């Protein structure tokens, strides 16, 4: 079963990530932008897109998780949780594991090991910034970024 159709991936629809964007939709957006960057640069776009889909596979509401569990450092800890879940439910390469584990750089101290991992970091930050804005600005901003990355800007 492909990642997009998998019930575990679909379950991320229950959790809000940023603004009104669900974790599932955030991962789809990050995956697509990572794919576009890597494809444009001639890098491994398929592997990068798969890592993008799985980078936030932590499977809880991070807004309430700290209060319920006492684990209050979601930004620092969720990459490992996501990587462990990705390994549990999907076949992932060592490169994909590294991309997932290090996608929160520079908040976390160790940068990604590959250029594809850096593309995932950048795509995650860009999508996160867009998602905290309102829908109209978000769409305009993402469209403009995609336009620039595609080489027309």
Cβ atoms of 51 and 100 closer than 8 Å? yes
The predicted-structure confidence for 2-47, as pLDDT tens digits, reads as follows 899 999 999 999 998 877 889 999 999 999 999 999 999 999 999 9
With a CB cutoff of 8 Å and minimum separation 6, the contacts of 81 are 57, 58, 59
- Domain span holding position 44: 7-149
| Residue at 88 is within a domain | yes
Overall number of domains in the chain:
1
Q: How confident is the model over 130-153, as a mean pLDDT? A: 59
Q: Which two tokens stand for residue 104?
A: 């929160």
With a CB cutoff of 8 Å and minimum separation 6, the contacts of 86 are 54, 57, 92, 96, 97, 100
| Residue at 1 is within a domain | no
Phi-psi region of 101 (alpha: psi -120 to 50; beta: other; left: phi over 0): alpha
Say which CATH number the domain at 121 has.
1.10.3210.10
- CA–CA separation, 133 and 83 (whole Å): 28
The radius of gyration of the chain from alpha carbons, rounded to an integer in Å, stands at 15
Average pLDDT value for the chain: 85
Which of 16-25, 26-35, 65-74, 138-147 is modeled with the greatest confidence? 26-35
The predicted-structure confidence for 100-109, as pLDDT tens digits, reads as follows 999 999 988 9
User: DSSP string spanning 73-101?
Assistant: -HHHHHHHHHHHHHHHHS---HHHHHHHH
């Amino acid at each position: 079963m492909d990642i997009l159709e998998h019930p575990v991936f679909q379950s991320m629809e229950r959790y809000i990530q940023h603004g009104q964007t669900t974790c599932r939709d955030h991962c789809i957006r990050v995956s697509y932008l990572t794919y576009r960057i890597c494809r444009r640069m001639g890098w491994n776009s398929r592997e990068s897109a798969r890592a993008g889909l799985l980078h936030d596979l932590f499977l809880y509401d991070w807004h309430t998780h700290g209060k319920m569990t006492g684990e209050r450092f979601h930004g620092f800890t969720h990459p490992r949780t996501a990587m462990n879940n990705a390994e549990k439910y999907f076949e992932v390469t060592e490169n994909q594991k590294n991309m997932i584990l290090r996608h929160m750089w520079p908040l976390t101290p160790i940068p990604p090991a590959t250029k594809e991992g850096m593309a995932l970091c950048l795509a995650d930050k860009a999508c996160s910034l867009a998602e905290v804005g309102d829908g109209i600005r978000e769409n305009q901003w993402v469209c403009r970024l995609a336009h620039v990355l595609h080489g027309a800007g």
